[in-house]
Amino acid sequence: MNKRLLLLPLAIILLSSCDKQTPAPGDLVVRNVLVEKNPHKFVPLSAVIHLETNISTEVSVRVTGKRGSLSDVEQEFPGLSKDHEVPILGLYPGYLNEVTLTFTDSTGMVAGEEVLQIQTDALPSDYPSVTVSSTPGPKAEGMTLVSYFGHNSDITPQRPFIFDQFGDIRWYLETKSHPTLYNLFFDDGIERLSNGNLYFGDANSSTIYEVSMLGEIVNTWSFDGYSFHHQVLELPNGNFLLSATKQGEATVEDFILELDRNSGDIVTVWDLRQSLDMNRETLTGDRVDWLHVNAVSFDPSDNTILISGRTQGVAKLTWANEVVWIMGNHSGWGLAGNGIDLTQKLLTPLDASSNPITDSEVLMGNKAHADFDWNWYQHAIDRLPNGDFMLFDNGDNRHFGASPSYSRMVEYRVNPANMTIQQIWEYGKNRGEETYSRIVSDVDYHAESNTVIFSPGAVITGPKPYGKAIEIDRSSGQVLFEATITPPQAAFGLVTFHRTERLTLYP
């Protein structure tokens, strides 16, 4: 049976399929179609379709795109059943969306289709314009999730959204009217759990939230005695690694916690005042926010963690809070809080021929070498599959103000046995102020396409602040995709977003 059903813009619509003629045995009959728009009230571009079929079928869905088949959203839902509950993602805002359900019987043959139309409300005015340019070449699969910080007025709540390869917004979490997330401040952003849901930490409530793509709060974790900031990371064992401030202390943003996912207990604490040098003032004179951890990552090769301290550098730490090495210029390091001489933990840079760079001006950060430069006020440190490390080098105060302003994606190779570091690859220096973001920002490597997504989130060159998500071919350095995200008003006058992630709309 092939029937077109027009669905009016109601939250829930109930229709019943009833043919006048008795169907032949094996013919598909679809009954009791119930369309529930925005089922959890906070993802307006979603729906759930409930229906019954007279024979057991599997269902697949297609949301027809505005811009040809490449803009279609398609998903299969395996498992034969007569009762179906089909989640719909990828609707356009302010649009009469066409949704096609295809039913496959137990033999794998298509038994029939239902074509529905779902009207959505217009996108709120707080959301940005997104302009896209693209060239042929392998790109990471999916759409772009933006941990959005741009608003017309207040800086909270933050409202994440997802746009497709043409710049059309196809999903957003409307937190402004949410009874729990109305004051959301997710700091460095939102990512996807291994189970397909989204997760983020809220700095205002010091709570980690797990939220489905339909907008349902699935789980929460809070922790006594600490305040959340910046980053939460799912570990391979399911626990969470997060950056925190210990309440009642004179300093901030200088603790890392491991939180047991099942019990909610804090099982490991890294006091960075003990493992690092609180008295180092090379990059900041702020004795309260002396470190400003803005990213935390995990290295499975040796069961260590990586922390990015915006105003100190990158450090690798054991589970016992021992420093393995420090990635950053050599100026000003002394004793850690536990008495360890941190000058013995500094990495020695190598040139392109793997020879040590001995120029003290380079080592101390006063200038760059032709083959190497240090990281400056970096974000988003991560380990690559080949063992190298990648980060967003913001470039704030580069060479203590003696360098032109630019940000870059940089890949380093560290040899822990020899305590050396070599610069392998970079992108962004030639873009100058066009992609310069002195704060926030992100970089991600996608192994399946061998591409890097370079995302400066607070660019203030030009008449209005903006952010960019730029996908670069790792082998050739060619730009394959570039999106410019311009909010109606940037938070603090400069922040568009904290990070972006490329992901499939359906988990």
Retrieve residue 61's tokens.
């869905």
Beta bridge partners of 110: 104
Q: Residue-wise pLDDT tens for the chain (507 aa)?
A: 333 333 333 344 444 444 434 556 568 999 999 999 999 999 999 999 999 999 999 999 999 999 999 999 999 999 999 999 999 999 999 999 999 999 999 999 999 999 999 999 999 998 999 999 999 999 999 999 999 998 766 677 889 999 999 999 999 999 888 999 998 998 888 999 999 999 999 999 999 999 999 999 999 999 999 999 999 999 999 999 999 999 999 999 999 999 999 999 999 999 999 999 999 999 999 999 999 999 999 999 999 999 999 999 999 999 999 999 999 999 999 999 999 999 999 999 999 999 999 999 999 999 999 999 999 999 999 999 999 999 999 999 999 999 999 999 999 999 999 999 999 999 999 999 999 999 999 999 999 999 999 999 999 998 999 999 999 999 999 999 999 999 999 998 999 999 999 999 999
pLDDT tens, residue by residue, 209-224: 999 999 999 999 999 9
Domains of the chain in sequence order = 2-119 (2.60.40.10), 223-439 (no CATH)
Residue 364 near residue 313, CB atoms below 8 Å:
no
Helix/strand/coil (H/E/C) assignment for every residue in 359-379? CHHHHCCCCCECCECCCCCCE
Question: Which residues, other chains included, contact 471 with Cβ-Cβ below 8 Å and sequence gap of 6+?
Answer: 139, 140, 451, 452, 453, 454, 479, 480, 481, 482, 502
Helix/strand/coil (H/E/C) assignment for every residue in 157-219? CCCCEEECCCCCEEEECCCCCCCCCCCCCCCCCCEECCCCCEEEEECCCCEEEEECCCCCEEE
Torsion angle (degrees, nearest 10) of CA 26, 29, 35, 40:
-30
- Helix (H) or strand (E) segment spanning residue 274: helix 272-275
Handedness of CA 268, 328, 460, 430 (dihedral sign): negative
Measured from the Cβ of residue 185, the count of other Cβ atoms closer than 10 Å reads 18
